Amino acid sequence: MANQSKSLLDKQIVSQAIIDSFKKLNPMVMMKNPVMFIVEIGTFITLILSFLPDAFGPSTVSRGYNIAVFLILLFTVLFANFAEALAEGRGRAQADSLRQTKSDTIARLVQKDGSIREVSSTQLRKGDIVRVDTYDMIPSDGEIIEGLASIDESAITGESAPVIKEAGGDFSSVTGGTRVVSDSIVMRVTSDPGESFLDKMISLVEGASRQKTPNEIALTTLLTVLTLIFLVVIVTLVPLANYLTVQLDVATLIALLVCLIPTTIGGLLSAIGIAGMNRVTQFNVLAMSGKAVEAAGDIDTMILDKTGTITFGNRMAAEFIPVSDVSHSDMTLAALQSSVKDETPEGRSIVELAHQIGAVWNEHEYAEADIMEFTAETRMSGLNLPGGTTIRKGAVDAIKKWIAAQNGTIPSDLDEKAGHIARAGGTPLAVTVNNRILGLIYLKDTVKPGLKERFAELRAMGIKTVMCTGDNPLTAATIAKEAGVDEFIAEAKPEDKIAAIKKEQAQGKLVAMTGDGTNDAPALAQADVGLAMNSGTMAAKEAANMIDLDSDPTKLLSVIAIGKQLLITRGSLTTFSIANDIAKYFAIIPALFILALPQLQSLNIMHLASPQSAILSALIFNAVIIPLLIPIAMRGTKYQAMNANRLLTRNLLLYGVGGVLVPFVGIKVIDLILATLL
């Protein structure tokens, strides 16, 4: 999707946004934005005044003045609507290209008796079993239960190189709309129609499921309160003006109100939020909620899973290493025995290596065996043979406990040999037959490139990185060092990952978690920001509130930057908007009252042509500032990786002081132009 980012001024998007700006005039829609709704009511009243100048009491102003105020107000509302429509339009364009991916296909449903029935993909339900052959489109989201295939996921990730997906382990999930390019698989459907990953993606980028974030709601409330206060101020101005025998017309009062209420931020607020979400999508990250993106902007701690997140996760058996006086062939056979029924990628790689070395084990010998599947909880897998023989392999510390329970002894060279593998960054698995440890399997994995520099950037931003892994402390230490994370937690079970997150949260910190495995799912759900790798399992993706389509754990950096930028943009434009309103106050009030109160002369620094010209100039400025700020709302304020407080101070100065000065210049220029025109 990265290459589908649209330029700000794509012709089609702009013309659609213009049409939508008018559609959004519907009061039922406007009501959601109280500040602009007040402007719309003002527009309506001045429309009446344009025809019936005396509709609300005697009037001294010309029909032309009423019409001018009406038109400027109308454009103010339209400009605000346009900003929102433009932001929405850009999301919709992304959704449209995704929707093209989503087409009905024929699915080969495997029935109870094993026969195949062809059905439309829209008829598939959760739990259905489907066969997908070479060149077929995968009809729905699911988990592979049989086979291995290379899959072209470019429709979703934009990445053209196919990925290998296989039954068992962390690489078994497939996404509807992607295509099998070699081999065939049998999969179990995991989503009902309309609820697939692609459906969610479309409604996300389209903004259909967008909800206001808590921050946005708080700001909207604040702006509404400000608006009400100014309403009261304007109403109380009337008797005051009467007393001073200054005639304030209804159109002038409305214009004054609109100039004083925070229309700039009110008009741009929702566009800022939508544009922030669009920017996340352009980085190939799917954010399920704006809240998560904003939370990313404030993250203190980042917890990462090792296998599949920091490393590629295709852990392969590289070597069998016997311990004590066990022969190489006995060890190889035991490794094979422990893995024939292990469907994880690790298990399959062990079987493959054993076969390469020449080990054979007849199928009938294990046909009746009891299978002990691998779990993250036991950190072991293996078989119980009918004769009573138990075969296990697993994490060294887990196997040691298992052997102790069987009254076995620990070979004296086990720790040293396991340490050797671990210090090289590999994962040692110990293999046992009954109460005897025969040796170690060396599982190799590769750290993804470029992590060190990116983690250093996180450190510079004051974010702590913690690697949390089920692997042993030595391997963890080696990988932690190679990847450049600040801390690590080893031998972590799923509940330990959650505990690590809760511990940080208890200290008032915002925590991000990145992971890919089913064992990461609970932690991804617990974290304030849960970023799942697209290569990971459905469980992980469902628990997370963001998915990285490129499966790059450092992508969070970009999301953090976007989150911070979103918060800063909103803060800056709010400051600018309110500073503007203060400046407008000083432009208009002296101009209105100067005849009745000559003492105001000292405040009349702008020397505008006439009270009416002052009002119209301020109102025009108030309207045009909205479209002028659309580029900042859309692209975000300039963001630099610097200390948050310094950034805030700098922006408050820039947008606060600028916000006071710009209107003085702008209004004066408009006033001069009006004076020459009229």
Ligand X SMILES: Nc1ncnc2c1ncn2[C@@H]1O[C@H](COP(=O)(O)OP(=O)(O)OP(=O)(O)O)[C@@H](O)[C@H]1O
Q: Does 394 bind ligand X (CB under 6 A)?
A: yes
Applying CB under 6 A, the span of 118-126, 306-314, 322-330, 455-463 interacting with ligand X comes to 306-314
What does DSSP assign to residue 307?
I
Residue 166 is labelled as binding a ligand: no
Applying CB under 6 A, the span of 196-204, 230-238, 465-473, 559-567 interacting with ligand X comes to 465-473
Contact present, 298 and 510 (Cβ < 8 Å): yes
Number of residues that bind K ion (CB under 5 A): 3
Closer residue to Mg ion (CB): 273 or 517: 517
Residues in region 609-638 near K ion by CB under 5 A: 622
Residue 65, C-beta contacts closer than 8 angstroms, at least 6 positions apart: 249, 251, 612, 616
Q: Does 522 bind ligand X (CB under 6 A)?
A: no
Residue 249 is labelled as binding a ligand: no
Applying CB under 6 A, the span of 16-24, 54-62, 466-474, 569-577 interacting with ligand X comes to 466-474
Choosing from 136, 141, 143, 342, the residue that interacts with ligand X (CB under 6 A) is 342
Cα–Cα distance for residue pair 574/655, rounded to 1 Å: 9
Cα–Cα distance for residue pair 247/592, rounded to 1 Å: 9
Residue 363 is labelled as binding a ligand: no
Alpha carbon of 276 to those of 81, 86, 200: distances in Å? 17, 13, 18
The one of K ion, ligand X, Mg ion, none whose footprint includes residue 152, by CB under 5 to 8 A per kind, is none
Cα–Cα distance for residue pair 335/326, rounded to 1 Å: 13
Please tell me which residue in 170, 249, 305, 581 is annotated as part of the active site.
Answer: 305
Contact present, 212 and 273 (Cβ < 8 Å): yes
Q: Does 263 bind K ion (CB under 5 A)?
A: yes
Q: Which two tokens stand for residue 8?
A: 């700000």
Q: Does 427 bind ligand X (CB under 6 A)?
A: yes
Cα–Cα distance for residue pair 630/628, rounded to 1 Å: 6
Contact present, 399 and 427 (Cβ < 8 Å): no
Q: Determine the distance from the C-alpha atom of residue 507 to the mean position of all C-alpha atoms in its chain, rounded to a whole number.
A: 24
Cα–Cα distance for residue pair 505/514, rounded to 1 Å: 16
Closer residue to ligand X (CB): 143 or 216: 143
Residue 577 is labelled as binding a ligand: no
DSSP letters, 147-173, are -EEEEE-HHHH---S-EEEESSGGG-E
Closer residue to K ion (CB): 263 or 301: 263
Choosing from 308, 382, 411, 425, the residue that interacts with Mg ion (CB under 5 A) is 308
Binding mask 563-592 for K ion (x = CB under 5 A): ------------------x-----------
The one of ligand X, K ion, Mg ion, none whose footprint includes residue 91, by CB under 5 to 8 A per kind, is none
Residue 548 is labelled as binding a ligand: no
Contact present, 128 and 111 (Cβ < 8 Å): no
Q: Does 400 bind ligand X (CB under 6 A)?
A: no
What stretch of H or E contains 430? strand 427-433
> Minimum CB separation from K ion for residue 263, in Å?
4
Q: Does 166 bind ligand X (CB under 6 A)?
A: no
Q: Does 666 bind ligand X (CB under 6 A)?
A: no
Residue 393 is labelled as binding a ligand: yes
What does DSSP assign to residue 448?
P
Amino acid at 336: L
Closer residue to K ion (CB): 252 or 622: 622
Q: How many alpha carbons lie under 13 Å from residue 70 in its C-beta half-sphere?
A: 16
Closer residue to K ion (CB): 264 or 475: 264
Q: Does 346 bind Mg ion (CB under 5 A)?
A: no
Choosing from 61, 124, 380, 480, the residue that interacts with ligand X (CB under 6 A) is 380
Choosing from 307, 526, 572, 617, the residue that interacts with ligand X (CB under 6 A) is 307
Helix, strand or coil, per DSSP, at residue 286: strand
Closest CA to 391 of 401, 405, 380, 400: 380
Residue 374 is labelled as binding a ligand: yes
Query: How crowded is residue 175: how many other Cβ atoms within 10 Å of its Cβ?
Result: 24
Q: Does 417 bind ligand X (CB under 6 A)?
A: no
DSSP letters, 205-269, are HHTTT----HHHHHHHHHHHHHHHHHHHHHHHHHHHHHHTT----HHHHHHHHHHHS-HHHHHHH
The one of ligand X, K ion, Mg ion, none whose footprint includes residue 263, by CB under 5 to 8 A per kind, is K ion
The one of Mg ion, K ion, ligand X, none whose footprint includes residue 381, by CB under 5 to 8 A per kind, is ligand X
**Helices 611-635 & 555-593, crossing angle to 10 degrees?**
180
Q: Does 553 bind Mg ion (CB under 5 A)?
A: no
Q: Determine the distance from the C-alpha atom of residue 486 to the mean position of all C-alpha atoms in its chain, rounded to a whole number.
A: 24
Residues in region 348-377 near ligand X by CB under 6 A: 374, 376
Q: Does 403 bind ligand X (CB under 6 A)?
A: no
Contact present, 305 and 514 (Cβ < 8 Å): yes
Alpha carbon of 397 to those of 222, 371, 423, 448: distances in Å? 57, 21, 16, 27
Residue 346 is labelled as binding a ligand: yes
Residue 141 is labelled as binding a ligand: no
Cα–Cα distance for residue pair 385/105, rounded to 1 Å: 45
Closer residue to ligand X (CB): 301 or 344: 344
Q: What is the 3-state secondary structure (H, E, C) of 528-588?
A: CEEEEECCCCHHHHHHCCEEECCCCCCHHHHHHHHHHHHHHHHHHHHHHHHHHHHHHHHHH
Helix, strand or coil, per DSSP, at residue 637: coil
The one of ligand X, K ion, Mg ion, none whose footprint includes residue 337, by CB under 5 to 8 A per kind, is none
Contact present, 601 and 595 (Cβ < 8 Å): no
Choosing from 381, 514, 554, 622, the residue that interacts with ligand X (CB under 6 A) is 381
Annotated catalytic residue 496: no
Residue 405 is labelled as binding a ligand: no
Q: Tell me the residue nearest to Mg ion as measured from the CB.
A: 517
Q: Scanning the structure block, which residue is given the tokens 């159109």?
A: 251
Q: Does 445 bind Mg ion (CB under 5 A)?
A: no
Q: How many residues does the chain have?
A: 678
Choosing from 290, 297, 322, 517, the residue that interacts with Mg ion (CB under 5 A) is 517
Cα–Cα distance for residue pair 498/519, rounded to 1 Å: 10
Cα–Cα distance for residue pair 278/153, rounded to 1 Å: 21
Q: Does 204 bind ligand X (CB under 6 A)?
A: no
Residue 375 is labelled as binding a ligand: yes
Q: Does 284 bind Mg ion (CB under 5 A)?
A: no
The one of Mg ion, K ion, ligand X, none whose footprint includes residue 400, by CB under 5 to 8 A per kind, is none
Choosing from 263, 281, 282, 307, the residue that interacts with Mg ion (CB under 5 A) is 307
Q: Does 494 bind Mg ion (CB under 5 A)?
A: no
Residue 520 is labelled as binding a ligand: yes
Choosing from 347, 536, 553, 563, the residue that interacts with ligand X (CB under 6 A) is 347
Residue 535 is labelled as binding a ligand: no
Closest CA to 470 of 447, 488, 484, 486: 488
The one of Mg ion, K ion, ligand X, none whose footprint includes residue 59, by CB under 5 to 8 A per kind, is none
Closer residue to ligand X (CB): 79 or 374: 374
> Minimum CB separation from ligand X for residue 323, in Å?
16
Q: Does 395 bind ligand X (CB under 6 A)?
A: yes
Residues of this chain that interact with K ion (CB under 5 A) are 263, 581, 622
**Residues catalogued as catalytic:** 305
Residues of this chain that interact with Mg ion (CB under 5 A) are 305, 307-308, 517
Residues of this chain that interact with ligand X (CB under 6 A) are 305-308, 342, 344, 346-347, 374, 376, 379-381, 393-395, 427, 429, 469-471, 517, 519
Which residues are part of a known binding site for Mg(2+)?
A: 516, 520
Which residues are part of a known binding site?
A: 342, 346, 374-381, 393, 516, 520
